[in-house]
Amino acid sequence: MIEIKDVRKSFGDLDVLKGINITIHDGEIYGIIGQSGAGKSTLLRCINGLEDFQSGTITVDGTPVSLEDPRKLHLLQKNMGMIFQNFNLLSRLDVYDNVALPMKFWGMKTKTPEAKEKIRGLLELVGLEDKIHARPAELSGGQKQRVAIARALVLDPKILLCDEATSALDPAITRGILSLLQEINRKLGITIIVVTHQMEVVKQICERVSFLKGGQVLAEGRPEELFVKPIKEVKAFLQEESALLPETGVNIQMFFTDQSSDPVITMMARELDTNFSICWAKLEDFRSSVYGSLVINVKEEDKEKVLAYLDRTGVSWEVL
């Protein structure tokens, strides 16, 4: 478990983190999302000890993250694999030796039968067993990131930190990398922390997410809770334009989960014997579950009975 309590960090007079409180459970995929400058990457670097912070505490499996004890921090960092946006592969080394780099750093032998078996197994896991002797220049962007993922796993970490790991990739390759991270989480039980400004990343793989703005956590919860019914700051981050809604009558937005199987709109129209207009709708896919929202416009005199019906049938709603 990773516990972040009231963490504050500044660069000179600039406050970057302003009292961050987050708990990340073992084995989950956790997202940290926000615009550039929100403090996401700084927080990630504080978690793995690459950045110090002025106050608060960060503990990983009960061990405090502190630069005051370099030896203990070093051992803690060994349990944290890191994936970066720009891959950070060494061009003079082939895929095998790039994956083996952390082992060399820790003084481990990289050409023993055990080491070869381990690295080949990781390359098989990321789908690159046939590229074992290729150079980075011969690989696509997605393949380079897969090598970086294998390298991050070579020391058997308990935690995988992903700092904008898919930002340099096109959507199709991004989906493949995200599916790979899900497979790694499922097969190896590794806790994965994903820092990103890409909503699609969070929607596809994260079980919980924190939304950061100005160094503060403004919202936390399941992605579908944050993005289907967003607070105004999240809505601004998503750059969702308000639909052109009728200026007369009452506009009611309804929210549906993958458990909402009844044809609510049809049933409501029949039972209440009333007419209304469908103004706007959207569907979102979260980890293979579909969530959505829909806006209808009703007459002012029909408002109360419509809202009462939605309450009775368990549909979440808000008046716009």
Does 151 share its domain with 194? yes
Dmax (CA) for the chain in angstroms is 79
Single-letter code of the amino acid located at 294: L
pLDDT(260) > 60? no
In a domain, 169, yes or no: yes
Highest mean pLDDT among 108-122, 237-251, 281-295: 108-122
CATH code, domain with 272: 3.30.70.260
Confidence of residue 189 (pLDDT cuts 50, 70, 90): very high
In a domain, 310, yes or no: yes
Instruction: Round the average pLDDT of the chain to a whole number and report it.
Output: 90
Rounded Cα–Cα distance for residues 227 and 292 (Å): 10
Give mean pLDDT, residues 186-214: 92
Domains held by the chain: number: 2
Does 183 share its domain with 154? yes
Does 198 share its domain with 294? no
- CA distances to 259, 283, 293, 310 from 318, in Å: 19, 17, 11, 10
| φ and ψ of 43, to 5 deg | -60, -40
Q: Where is the domain boundary, 236, 260, 291? A: 236
Confidence (pLDDT) at 199: 83
293: containing domain? 250-319
More confident position, 283 or 109: 109
More confident position, 275 or 195: 195
pLDDT(284) > 80? no
Could you identify the residue written with the tokens 């960090």? 9
Does 227 share its domain with 264? no
Does 88 share its domain with 10? yes
Does 225 share its domain with 261? no
In a domain, 135, yes or no: yes
The single-letter DSSP state of residue 1 is -
Q: Return the percent helix, strand and coil in the chain, to nearest 5.
A: 35, 30, 35
| Weakest-pLDDT range from 69-78, 182-191, 252-261 | 252-261
Confidence (pLDDT) at 82: 93
Percent of the residues in the chain that have a pLDDT greater than 70, as a whole number: 96
Confidence of residue 187 (pLDDT cuts 50, 70, 90): very high
Does 273 share its domain with 217? no
Q: Where is the domain boundary, 236, 271, 304? A: 236
In a domain, 78, yes or no: yes
Alpha-helical (H) ranges within 92-222 are 95-105, 113-125, 141-153, 171-188, 199-205
Confidence (pLDDT) at 288: 64
Percent of the residues in the chain that have a pLDDT greater than 90, as a whole number: 63
- pLDDT tens across 149-167, in order? 999 999 999 999 999 988 8
Give mean pLDDT, residues 214-231: 87
More confident position, 67 or 4: 4
Rounded Cα–Cα distance for residues 295 and 34 (Å): 27
Tokens found for residue 194: 């994903």
Confidence (pLDDT) at 240: 59
pLDDT(77) > 60? yes
In a domain, 241, yes or no: no
Q: Where is the domain boundary, 174, 209, 236? A: 236
- Are 82 and 159 contacting, i.e. CB atoms less than 8 angstroms apart? no
More confident position, 257 or 264: 264
Tokens found for residue 301: 């005199």
In a domain, 193, yes or no: yes
Rounded Cα–Cα distance for residues 99 and 104 (Å): 10
| Weakest-pLDDT range from 90-94, 131-135, 284-288 | 284-288
Does 170 share its domain with 312? no
Does 166 share its domain with 121? yes
In a domain, 157, yes or no: yes
- Strands 29-33 and 191-196, how do they pair? parallel
Q: First CA to last CA across the chain, in angstroms?
A: 40
Confidence (pLDDT) at 129: 94
Confidence (pLDDT) at 280: 83
Does 148 share its domain with 270? no
Confidence of residue 258 (pLDDT cuts 50, 70, 90): low
Does 163 share its domain with 309? no
Does 178 share its domain with 269? no
| φ and ψ of 90, to 5 deg | -90, 120
Rounded Cα–Cα distance for residues 313 and 304 (Å): 14
CATH code, domain with 180: 3.40.50.300
In a domain, 245, yes or no: no
- pLDDT tens across 112-127, in order? 999 999 999 999 999 9
**Global model pTM greater than 0.85:** no
